A = this chain, B = another copy of it.
Amino acid sequence: MSVGAIKVGIIGASGYTGADAVRLLATHPHVHIGVLTGNAHAGKKIGEIFPQFAGLDLPALVKVEDADWSDIDAVICGLPHSTAQDVILNLPKHLKVIDMSADFRLQDADVYAQWYGRSHEAPALLKGAVYGLSEHYGAAIAEADLVACPGCYPTAALTLLLPLVKAGLIDASDLIIDAKSGVTGAGRSLKEQNLFSEVAEGMHAYGVAGHRHAPEIEQEITKANGAPVTVSFTPHLVPMNRGEYLSVYAKTKNNATAADLRAAWQAFYADKPFVRVVEAGVVPATRHVRGSNFCLLAAFDDRIDGRVILFSTLDNLVKGSSGQAIQNLNLMFGFDEMAGLQQQPLFP
């Protein structure tokens, strides 16, 4: 444990986002993992759940109610949606909380209730939560006690869209987002549709006109746009473990071209190490971000006049979840934004 290091707990360490938090924190220069919770596996070592960690010196899994938080500085919460809010509500107040679930993302409790089919259990906490899109809300994140990390699709969509909407370069009322994701986006839960033989050698759309990441994207675009926005958002499941790829079809305003959009991104993200605008004419690929915290952006003029084709890609478990959580942790504790996140992409 290095000088100046903090102690972090991971709640829900037996899921894929929890595991990726462990993977990344294992080499973080300023963080020591002090608590790991996993209710279904309490008493086991993390190496029994994720054998790749069997050689690491880590605490055994405990039930969240049995954890000793006394010397922990912050928690990263990887619980499923709807279960996180109750757990977070009952955590000691000295803990900084970075939540990777959807529970604190929708800032209007009524919108939350409408999309999640239940009323929010912690509306007071919800009021103080900061939306953890690191490159856009960095200052607020640095001061926050509770950060709600964006969903994987919203991270990819908003990183692409927000600078363009804010700059008035695209028409926010006609945004079509065709999204593709690897299977880890569905987590480690036992569902027939996630079996290898149901997914390999094929693809399909899902959640058509009803995916819960749509209102999250709309909340943020609406803020940037200054008027309510509904987006067309259609996710697809692709036979790969990691990676998210968004193809966004938009109309430009004021004769803006792809080059103008690229310039707007470059200006906005000039000092942001994890967002990179690829060179003009280059098409990004999920495999060029695999395992890393990078998000790549690209813009092309369409053959239809006034239309552009935009791409955003990231690793759903890293920049789309655990990596951004750690990036936010770095912002909250004043560490270098890249600490623990310097892994280069794994390709092939």
Query: Would A241 and B201 count as touching, CB distance under 8 A?
Result: yes
Across the interface, A197 reaches (CB within 8 A) one of B188, B231, B236, B282, namely: B188
Measured between alpha carbons, how far is A198 from B190 in the docked complex, in Å?
Answer: 11
Query: Would B284 and A200 count as touching, CB distance under 8 A?
Result: no
Query: Would B344 and A241 count as touching, CB distance under 8 A?
Result: no
User: Is A105 an interface position by the 8 A CB rule?
Assistant: no
Q: Which chain B residue has the least Cβ–Cβ distance from A53?
A: B344
Scan residues 282-317 of chain A and give those whose CB is less than 8 A from a CB of chain B.
282-292, 294, 300-304, 307, 309, 311, 313, 317
Measured between alpha carbons, how far is A232 from B174 in the docked complex, in Å?
Answer: 14
Q: Which residues of B contact A232 (CB under 8 A)?
A: 249, 302-304, 307, 309
Give the number of times this chain occurs in the complex, counting copies: 4
Query: Would B202 and A291 count as touching, CB distance under 8 A?
Result: no
Q: Which residues of B contact A342 (CB under 8 A)?
A: 26-27
Q: Which chain B residue has the least Cβ–Cβ distance from A241?
A: B348
Scan residues 182-240 of chain A and give those whose CB is less than 8 A from a CB of chain B.
183-184, 188, 190-192, 194-206, 208-210, 214, 230-232, 234, 236, 238-240
User: Is A50 an interface position by the 8 A CB rule?
Assistant: yes
Query: Would B236 and A288 count as touching, CB distance under 8 A?
Result: no
User: Is A176 an interface position by the 8 A CB rule?
Assistant: yes
User: Is A110 an interface position by the 8 A CB rule?
Assistant: no
Query: Would A203 and B303 count as touching, CB distance under 8 A?
Result: no
Q: Which chain B residue has the least Cβ–Cβ distance from A343?
A: B343
Query: Would A52 and B202 count as touching, CB distance under 8 A?
Result: no
Query: Would B195 and A309 count as touching, CB distance under 8 A?
Result: no
> Chain A's interface: helix, strand, loop or mixed, by majority?
loop
Which size bracket describes the interface of A in this complex? 35 or more
Query: Would B202 and A243 count as touching, CB distance under 8 A?
Result: yes
Q: Which residues of B contact A201 (CB under 8 A)?
A: 200-201, 240-243, 287, 290, 348
Q: In whole Å, how far is A226's beta carbon from the nearest beta carbon of chain B?
A: 19
Q: In whole Å, how far is A114's beta carbon from the nearest beta carbon of chain B?
A: 12
User: Is A336 an interface position by the 8 A CB rule?
Assistant: no
Scan residues 52-105 of chain A and give those whose CB is less than 8 A from a CB of chain B.
52-56
Measured between alpha carbons, how far is A240 from B348 in the docked complex, in Å?
Answer: 10
Query: Would A203 and B309 count as touching, CB distance under 8 A?
Result: no
Query: Would A294 and B196 count as touching, CB distance under 8 A?
Result: no
Measured between alpha carbons, how far is A230 from B300 in the docked complex, in Å?
Answer: 16
Q: Which residues of B contact A210 (CB under 8 A)?
A: 303
Q: In whole Å, how far is A81's beta carbon from the nearest beta carbon of chain B?
A: 18
Query: Would B242 and A348 count as touching, CB distance under 8 A?
Result: yes
Q: Mark A99-136, 1 if CB is under 8 A from B, else 0.
A: 00000000000000000000000000000000000000
User: Is A180 an interface position by the 8 A CB rule?
Assistant: yes
Scan residues 320-344 of chain A and give those whose CB is less than 8 A from a CB of chain B.
342-344
Measured between alpha carbons, how far is A294 from B26 in the docked complex, in Å?
Answer: 15
**What are 10 A-B residue pairs whose CB atoms fall within 8 Å in the complex?**
A176-B249, A196-B196, A196-B241, A198-B348, A201-B348, A203-B243, A209-B301, A214-B303, A241-B348, A291-B346
| A-B contact sample (13 more), CB < 8 A, given A184-B197, A188-B198 | A23-B345, A52-B344, A53-B344, A54-B279, A55-B294, A176-B176, A176-B249, A194-B196, A196-B196, A196-B241, A201-B287, A236-B245, A241-B348
